[in-house]
């Protein structure tokens, strides 16, 4: 009878890397790492808590940090922490060279530039290929974020690059109908301005 072989993946070595105020010294177990805080405190931490940004500094430094801005644990602070983590480890961000500007590596500066997160909004980069920096970021609704993805349809309208969904809203016409019209050869101007009752003719192929 053949022997069953079990495979295990070795965790990526993060020795020497920084996560917040922690510097990783060495691995002590499979997923636990000996780390030193900037203040000199040494602790054993899980790799997942470092990578996710849930552990940024030791308890002593946390107390001092809280007295600085008092925002630790708020939605604004968590968005800032996740933003930094994405640019450090996520292939869709770090792999594309997207980074957090030097000024925003400090939370107080991020808070001063962006303000607290408005209810129902999250951070969005206006230029999806640009960095996280004051000139390229806004608090956006989920709809705005969806329309700003890399696969969002961008068209040239009156000499300006516009999101197709935004134009459809302005002309009060379903964006799906506009897409269908463009797919069968309509001009963008006709697709936006022709009243939607003509959709039956479109569906039957009787386009005039």
Tell me how far apart the alpha carbons of residues 173 and 165 are, in angstroms, rounded to a whole number: 10
Task: Extract the tokens encoding 74.
Answer: 């708020």
Q: What is the pLDDT along the chain (208 residues), one digit of tens a residue?
A: 555 444 445 668 888 988 888 899 998 877 889 999 888 888 888 888 888 777 777 777 776 655 566 677 788 889 998 898 888 777 667 777 889 999 999 888 898 898 888 888 889 888 877 899 998 888 988 877 766 664 567 777 787 777 777 778 788 888 788 888 888 888 888 888 887 654 444 444 544 4
The predicted structure's pLDDT at residue 203: 47
Predicted confidence at residue 6, as pLDDT, reads 46
Number of domains in the chain: 3
- Neighbouring CB atoms inside 10 A of 21's CB total 18
Domain end point (choices 95, 118, 141): 141
Bridge partners of residue 23, in order along the sequence:
18, 36
Domain co-membership, 39 together with 77: no
The answer as to whether 178 is a domain residue is: yes
Examine residue 2 and state whether it is found in any structural domain, yes or no.
Answer: no
In order, the DSSP letters of 29-98 are SSSEEEEEETTS-EEEEEHHHHHTTS--S-HHHHHHHHHHH--TTSHHHHHHHHHHHHHHH-TTTGGGT-
Q: What are phi and psi of 42, to 5 degrees?
A: -115, 130
Determine the pLDDT at residue 25. 93
Residue 206 is predicted with a pLDDT of: 47
- Residue 115's domain comprises 71-141
Q: What is the pLDDT of residue 104?
A: 92
The reply to whether 29 and 55 lie within a common domain is yes
Give yes or no: residues 82 and 49 share one domain: no
Q: Strand 137-140 relative to strand 32-37: parallel, antiparallel, unpaired?
A: unpaired
- Identify the domain boundary among 141, 165, 182: 141
- Asked if 177 contacts 196 with a C-beta cutoff of 8 angstroms, the reply is yes
Both 161 and 192 in one domain: the answer is yes
DSSP structure class, residue 100: B
In this prediction, residue 199 carries a pLDDT of 46
Q: Is residue 3 part of a domain?
A: no
Q: Which structure tokens are listed for 98?
A: 């997207």
Is 5 part of a structural domain of the chain?
no
Is 149 inside any structural domain? no
Q: What is the pLDDT of residue 207?
A: 46
CA 73 to CA 71: how far, in whole Å? Answer: 6
Please give the pLDDT value at position 101: 93
Q: Are residues 51 and 101 in the same domain?
A: no
Is the domain of 119 the same as that of 159?
Answer: no
Residues 83 and 134 in one domain: yes
User: How would you classify residue 33: left for phi > 0, otherwise alpha for psi between -120 and 50, otherwise beta?
Assistant: beta
Q: How far apart are CA 167 and CA 95, in angstroms?
A: 32
In a domain, 194, yes or no: yes
Establish if 208 belongs to a structural domain: no
């Amino acid at each position: 009878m053949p022997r069953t072989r079990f495979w295990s993946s070795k965790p990526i070595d993060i020795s020497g890397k920084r996560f917040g105020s922690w510097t990783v010294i060495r691995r002590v177990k499979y997923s636990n790492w000996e780390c030193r805080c900037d203040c000199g405190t040494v602790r054993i931490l899980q790799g997942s808590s470092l990578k996710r940004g849930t552990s940024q500094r030791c308890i002593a430094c946390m107390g001092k940090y809280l007295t600085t801005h008092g925002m630790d644990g708020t939605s604004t602070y968590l968005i800032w922490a996740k933003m930094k983590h994405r640019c450090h480890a996520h292939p869709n961000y770090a792999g594309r060279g997207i980074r957090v500007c030097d000024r925003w590596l400090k939370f107080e500066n991020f808070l001063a530039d962006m303000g607290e997160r408005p209810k129902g909004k999250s951070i969005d980069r206006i230029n999806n290929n640009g960095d996280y920096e004051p000139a390229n970021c806004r608090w956006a609704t989920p709809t705005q974020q969806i329309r700003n993805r890399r696969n969002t349809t961008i068209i040239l309208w009156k000499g300006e690059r516009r999101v197709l969904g935004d134009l459809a809203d302005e002309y009060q016409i379903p964006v799906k109908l506009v897409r269908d019209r463009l797919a069968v050869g309509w001009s963008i101007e006709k697709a936006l301005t022709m009243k939607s009752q003509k959709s039956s003719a479109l569906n039957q192929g009787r386009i005039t």
